[in-house]
Structure 1
Amino acid sequence: MRLSSPNINVMVKACRKAAKILIRDFGEVEKLQVSLKGPGDFVTVSDKKVEKILIDELQKARPNYSILSEEIGLIKKDEEFKWIIDPIDGTANFLHGVPHFGISIGLEHNKEIICGIIYDPIKNEMFFAEKGNGSYLNDQRMRVSARSKLMDCIIFTGGPSFKSNDEDKKLSLKEYEKFSSKVGTPLRKMGSASLDMAYVAAGRCDGFWQRNLNYWDIAAGIILVKEAGGFVTDFNGNDKYIENKNILVTNSKINEQMIEILKY
């Protein structure tokens, strides 16, 4: 990897160790698809196993850092530094044997994300970034796309889910309809918010929006996109996406066009 720093090295090591379990368990999930029991309980156990490995590795390297993780919640220690972890982002894909999910780790310093890593263990793609040092996919520098017209773009989205309230479901479907009439290719719903953000950073897609995302869903992606030259805002173009949980990620050139559709 071209970008190397103590924190990035710690994150990479943790991801690779956890990924060994994840890949093995994914093979078992594929077998469970045809069983009467189904894979649900197995996936829950897998999620917790991956989380434990990540936490153990990160705590071993940085014992004083706080940790916020999807399954276990907050482990409060040093308030200056905090790891934000999503052990399996794209759990539904994992559950159904769809090979599109990732491990996501962000590092926060004084409420600002300074490092992020998103690892797709199936494709062996390591997306990572550090503040001021750029954004990378394996050993290649990443840049967002240069497309400036929505008609030429591919846009990713997520939701609504069964957890969404009725109002959010209505708004999400309305947004989907509005975008569908303005984007040249169909919208994509891939099922992993962190990988969606990584793909914007890599220039594979041009924008992404979603409602009701948790911090661990987006923490690593925030720094990836920013260091690749993209924009991260809420639907009104402000930086309140962590507070209101509504995030818009773009290559920067289509940001205003997307805000015009999404703002409320």
Structure 2
Amino acid sequence: MKKTKTPAKTIHLTKVLDQMIEWAFDCGNILNEHLVKSYTAPLKILDKGKQGLATEADLLSEAHVIKKIREFYPEHGILSEEDAFARELKMEGAKADQYLWLIDPLDGTNNFYNKVPFFCVSLALNRGNETLVGVVYNPVNCELFYAIKGKGAFLYRLIGHQEVRVQLEAGKTKKPFSEALLSANLTSKRVEKDLLKRFPEVRAMRRLGSAALEMSYVAAGMLDAYWEHKLQPWDMAAAGLICREAGVKISSIDGEDYHPFGSSVLTAHPALYRELLATLNR
């Protein structure tokens, strides 16, 4: 007799979001504690060679989230940056009915290591290649971006003692490149040498060092576009959902449909997307 496949259990996404926010705050506390200590004692680091570096804070943050996921969702898969490095795991996608957590316990490790306050915790829950819930949290600047598929994207921000909570919606008005603030790694060997020569005039370019935060900034209108080659699923999953739910344009750099297991990402204000896509592919 043929065995029938047991369907994945239905989960309540609002509950998942609440848990993810709580876990992101926990991880943020871990990162902030280590950041403060780094002013009096060197951070403990793991050299990953060409993959960069990881600190003790990365590992502790990751361990905390993985423990929580295994406690509440033991049947779910987990793909995390530091765990993937340790096991040399290569992921090209998830099975269509599989719940999979995509975790970056510290996105922006180089910034963190150098005490630059631009890094985050990125948590996402996928079913197959589709991201259902995403949270991106910068613990130093108290910025929390979050989204549930089909329910919109939101930003909670603490500015001094004042709380700001807004729904993120892409700008509807026309925006010329001359007023745009863009972010990309233009010094990368993957960037074509002649790109800057043919690039339209912009207000300013930035390179901030955290893909998840930079994509979230585009969703919030704090940046007008971001693109990068050779990202990993845990870099893009949460912020990719936040961008989609905010209504900004998102695809691969060559214009293919976005999904977090792709190798590149381009996200932009709707008024800039087509021209930017054409410029990057000329």
TM band (smaller chain) = 0.7 to 0.9
Q: 1:164-193, CA deviations, whole angstroms, 9 ceiling, x for partnerless residues?
A: xx5x2x52x4434543xx132221001111
| Match of residue 121, structure 2, among 89, 103, 107 | 103
Q: Which has the higher helix share?
A: 1
Give percent identity, aligned residues only.
Answer: 27
Check the 8 A contact 2:133/2:149 in 1, yes or no: yes
The aligned residue for residue 35 of structure 1 is: none
Aligned CA RMSD, in angstroms, stands at 2.4
CA deviation after TM superposition for structure 1 residue 153, in Å = 0.8
Q: Does 1:13 align with 2:22?
A: yes
The aligned residue for residue 263 of structure 1 is: 281
Residues 1:47 and 1:154: Cα distance change in structure 2 (over 3 Å): same
Q: What residue identity is the alignment partner of 2:15?
A: P
SS in 2 for 1:187: strand
- Once the two structures are superposed, the pairs formed by residues 1-264 of structure 1 within 5 Å of their partners are 5-32=14-41, 38-39=42-43, 41=45, 44-73=55-84, 80-138=98-156, 139-145=165-171, 146-158=173-185, 160=187, 166=189, 168=190, 170-171=191-192, 173-179=193-199, 182-239=200-257, 242=260, 244-263=262-281
Check the 8 A contact 2:183/2:227 in 1, yes or no: yes
CA deviation after TM superposition for structure 1 residue 50, in Å = 0.6
**Normalising by the residue count of structure 1, what TM-score does the alignment of the two structures yield?**
0.85
Cα distance in structure 1, aligned partners of 2:95 and 2:227: 33
Runs of 4 or more consecutive aligned structure 1 residues displaced over 4 Å after TM superposition? 74-79, 240-244
Q: 1:169-222, CA deviations, whole angstroms, 9 ceiling, x for partnerless residues?
A: x52x4434543xx13222100111110001011111111111111111111111
Check the 8 A contact 1:159/1:210 in 2, yes or no: no
Q: How many corresponding residue pairs?
A: 247
Residues 1:111 and 1:70: Cα distance change in structure 2 (over 3 Å): same
Q: 1:23-57, CA deviations, whole angstroms, 9 ceiling, x for partnerless residues?
A: 1001122334xxxxx54628621110110011112
Cα distance in structure 2, aligned partners of 1:202 and 1:175: 26
Unaligned runs of 5+ in 2: 1-12, 47-53, 157-164
Q: What residue identity is the alignment partner of 1:259?
A: L
CA deviation after TM superposition for structure 1 residue 142, in Å = 1.1
Q: What residue identity is the alignment partner of 1:118?
A: V
Q: 1:77-102, CA deviations, whole angstroms, 9 ceiling, x for partnerless residues?
A: 99610110011111100010101100
Q: What residue identity is the alignment partner of 2:166?
A: Q
SS in 2 for 1:72: helix
Check the 8 A contact 1:200/1:251 in 2, yes or no: yes
CA deviation after TM superposition for structure 1 residue 13, in Å = 1.2
Residues 1:63 and 1:90: Cα distance change in structure 2 (over 3 Å): same
